[in-house]
Chain A
């Protein structure tokens, strides 16, 4: 099949070129202001973030803690929706040519926008991957996989400490980007109050499986020390809530985001 949207595999290239200590940052589209989305992509990538996850705000974000919930509420009040987001992303690839951009959100707004429409718009904007935590694997395989492939969009699936080994293998087989390792029980931004060694054992167990995809650790990573620690067990880590918190109440959100990313990396 000839791909209608031949694009370079930015996710694969990024992991191959850097290999380790990759920083993936998450922020919510349309927060703190409606038009902040693209300036923030530029700011965080200029400051050294390797991948960018754009949150598509949803009224009922089940897997998110208070910080990301709040950012979503503000973004929706600001007027963010899928059409606005895709309009904002037009031309983003002229400004940020190489860093992988992923869209993360919940299934219902994608369903209402139309899965095919969503994938086409995302591909045209230069989006590389999609994370939909409430999309079941079986439903993905039956209803979405073909469409995702047609537009060369990579799905990213979550793995938790409770995910069974055979399910991890299946997720790895269905993935051609990276695996999102949820660090422990809890919603986004929660502090993982786990006994010493429990988390390490989980990360080491996954590492020992020799999976085909690289891994990024997310949930509860919020500063340089937690980032560095996560990077001992995976190719990199994902920071969301802490970045959003750093933009709370500031006049210049891109500048605050830039400082935050630098504080994690330097």
Chain B
């Protein structure tokens, strides 16, 4: 993949997006990471430990499941990449396992992370417990309320969960607080970013650590369909880490259509949305130039989605570039349609998806797949953490589409 047209250049740019817009206080940390991440990732001892943990601890490879009843409903061939079966219940752990090994090799003793839905926080707390490292997770005060079970999980795992009380008190603000912590603790601390966002090299680092998803997909598709290449890969996008992992090994395969599904919230034009590819324009958030939801004065606006993992006002710079260059198609799905897809997958396949993941499923009737097409949906997480929300919206869940 080194020659990919979709790899960042030396300064971390994907086309006009990316870069490292960070205050000087963070420069040495980010520079250290930039100078070392590729060497560490390529190091045989790292690879051995990473692959072993992915297999024995995370439970990889995750299955690629042919969803026959769902396929019948949409009259196409749908496969689900079961990232929901990863240890901790979502794809997020692929990244945290890799980054904790990286942090150890950088000699860091203290780990910080941000979390929205809590999945990345849980995945970080998990690997910190495994390695015996101090762990502090910043989480928006509102998200702590929305995703209580994950707050309890992180605490049980020994992490300290610190509420982010500034701004909209959600993912964006948790990320601000984590960055401020890193500014205050530049020497001993590694910041495990949970998505393909932030200053270079984070978007590339996280994409590489999530790339195992599409690496496995290719092998599994070859076994099950006779071809490594599907016609469509569909994934939800908040910051975009599961989508980056699901797209990664297909980026240079122009015959594979990539579909990124954003949260429309109450509707793209409702004023309560997180559909960054439609509502955003180029700007800077968390150290990266990307598409960003902002007002005309360049103040970052508060996104809305019922799902705590998708209400981010930016998207990873890779995704901004995939959209800009036409390589990926973006679709926006409302809260209500996502909720209906939760019920649909639960009843047709016996799998309760996370609310974030349900956005990807809800796009199935919009992608234009034919009866012979192979569609892979990245089933990024399981729905246990969302049960309280699902109970609250029980009526909407069972409405017919």
In-complex Cβ contact of B25 among A69, A82, A113, A185 (8 A): A185
Return chain A residues, CB-CB under 8 Å to B28. 160, 162-164
Instruction: Report how far A107 CA is from B283 CA in the complex, Å.
Output: 9
Interface residues of B in 1-51 (CB under 8 A from A): 11, 19-25, 27-28
Contact flags A131-145 to B (C-beta < 8 A → 1, else 0): 001111011000000
User: Given B21, B24, B185, B294, which contacts A112 in the complex, CB threshold below 8 Å?
Assistant: B294
Q: Which residue of A lies closest to B302 (CB)?
A: A59
Is A63 in the interface zone, CB < 8 Å from B?
yes
Judge whether A76 is part of the interface by a CB distance below 8 angstroms.
yes
Whether B285 is near chain A, meaning CB under 8 Å from some CB there, is yes
Determine chain A's interface SS by DSSP, over half rule.
loop
Interchain CB contact (< 8 A) of B299 among A65, A76, A158: A76
- How many Å from the CB of A97 to the closest CB on chain B? 30
Interface size on B, residues (CB 8 A): 35
Q: Which of B20, B185, B284 counts the most chain A CB atoms within 10 A?
A: B284
Asked if A62 and B176 sit within 8 Å, CB to CB, the answer is: yes
Contact between chains at A182 and B298 (CB < 8 Å): no
Q: Mark B287-299, 1 if CB is under 8 A from A, else 0.
A: 1000010101111
Residues in B with CB closer than 8 Å to A167 are 27
Tell yes or no: B106 within 8 A of A by CB: no
With beta carbons under 8 angstroms apart, the residue of A59, A108, A139 that contacts B167 is: A59
**Residue A186 at the chain B interface, CB threshold 8 Å:** yes
**Inter-subunit contact A62/B183 (CB<8 Å):** yes
Knowing A59-B167, A69-B166, A164-B28, the reply to whether A136 touches B22 (Cβ < 8 A) is yes
Asked if A15 is at the interface (CB within 8 A of a chain B CB), the reply is no
Rounded to whole Å, the gap between the CB of A106 and the closest CB of chain B is 8
Q: Do B184 and A112 touch across chains, with their CB atoms under 8 A apart? A: no
Q: Nearest Cβ in chain A — how far from B287, in angstroms?
A: 7
Q: Write out the residue numbers on chain B whose beta carbons fall within 8 Å of the beta carbon of A160.
A: 24-25, 27-28, 186
Closest chain A CB from B177 CB (angstroms): 10
- Is the pair A82, B297 in contact by a Cβ cutoff of 8 Å? yes
The answer to whether the Cβ of B243 comes within 8 Å of any Cβ in the partner chain is no
Residues on B with beta carbons closer than 8 Å to the beta carbon of A186: 183-184
Q: What residues on A are CB-neighbors of B24 within 8 Å?
A: 133, 157-160, 163, 182
Kindly list chain B residues whose C-beta atoms are within 8 Å of the C-beta of A86.
none
**Hey, which chain A residues are within 8 Å of B310, CB to CB?**
none
- Which residues in B have their C-beta under 8 angstroms from that of A185? 25, 183-187
- B347 located at the interface, meaning its Cβ lies under 8 Å from any Cβ of chain A in the complex: no
Contact A133 B23 (CB under 8 A): yes
Q: Contact between A108 and B22 (Cβ–Cβ < 8 Å)?
A: no
| Chain B contacts for A106, CB-based, 8 A | 284
B92 CB-CB contact with A under 8 Å: no
Interface 1/0 per residue, A146-184 and B, CB below 8 Å: 000000000001111011100100000000000000100
What is the CA–CA distance of A82 and B297 in the complex, to the nearest angstrom? 7
A60 close to chain B: CB less than 8 A: yes
Within 8 Å by CB of A113, from B19, B167, B298, lies B298
Inside 8 A of B21's CB, which chain A residues have their CB? 107, 134-136, 139
- In the bound assembly, the distance between CA atoms of A107 and B289 in angstroms comes to 10
* A-B pairs with lowest CB-CB distance, top 7: A112-B298, A109-B298, A158-B24, A133-B23, A162-B28, A59-B299, A81-B297
Can you list 17 A-B contacts (CB < 8 A)? A58-B299, A76-B299, A106-B284, A107-B284, A108-B285, A109-B297, A111-B282, A113-B297, A113-B298, A158-B24, A164-B28, A167-B27, A185-B183, A185-B184, A185-B186, A185-B187, A190-B184
Q: Which residues of B contact A (CB under 8 A)?
A: 11, 19-25, 27-28, 166-167, 172, 176, 179-180, 183-187, 282-287, 292, 294, 296-301
